[in-house]
Amino acid sequence: MPRHLLGVAASLLYCAAALAQTGAQTGSIEIKDAWARATPGGAQNGAAYVTLLSPTGDRLTGVTSPVAEKAELHQMTNDGGIMKMREVTAIDLPPGTPVSLKPGGLHVMLMGLKHPLQPGQAVPVTLQFEKSGSREVSVAVGKVGAMGPETHSGAAHPNPSH
């Protein structure tokens, strides 16, 4: 085989490897510190929080959970000293910038809870991303009134009950 063809073949292999590596990184959103507050008995709604980091940029476009009749992305805002909550259709994830869903800001609203969220429990939540598809997260439930995750849990992993 002539030398110039060997060079072309080597270049093609290098490009294919680079594309494969880039493809593996696309959709590799880091999901950490997924947590929720326990809800008192009789509460119909709860909230879940998480930190997301997309190396290439993406958008969180939806959420579902079997523990609630409905789950939505919400944002709290302070409007003249009055806290208001509204649904948002998506949350932008700029490349390389962590986005934290936390109390008083962006969060996942769990509406129509099928049972109270109990401390020490883990509940499944599925996050839907525009580019990366769906990822299921195990959300650790902390105490009523918690202001952050009690442990560094919430890695995306399959729910053993599925």
Q: CA dist 152 to 51, 84, 85, 112, Å?
A: 11, 29, 27, 27
Read off the tokens for 107.
């969060």
Read off the tokens for 77.
């805002």
The predicted pLDDT at position 14 comes to 39
User: Contact 34/80 with Cβ under 8 angstroms?
Assistant: no
Mean pLDDT by 10 residues, the chain (162 residues): 45 38 55 95 93 97 98 93 94 97 96 96 97 96 84 42 35
The predicted pLDDT at position 13 comes to 37
Read off the tokens for 117.
């969220």
The predicted pLDDT at position 147 comes to 79
Cα gap 122→84, rounded to integer Å? 28
Q: Show me where the domains of the chain are located.
A: 27-142
> Is the CATH number of domain 27-142 2.60.40.1890?
yes
From the list 65, 34, 31, the residue with the least C-alpha distance to 150 is 34
The predicted pLDDT at position 146 comes to 81
- Look over the chain and give the mean of its residue pLDDT values, rounded to a whole number: 82
User: Contact 48/139 with Cβ under 8 angstroms?
Assistant: yes
Give pLDDT tens digits for 73-85. 999 998 899 999 9
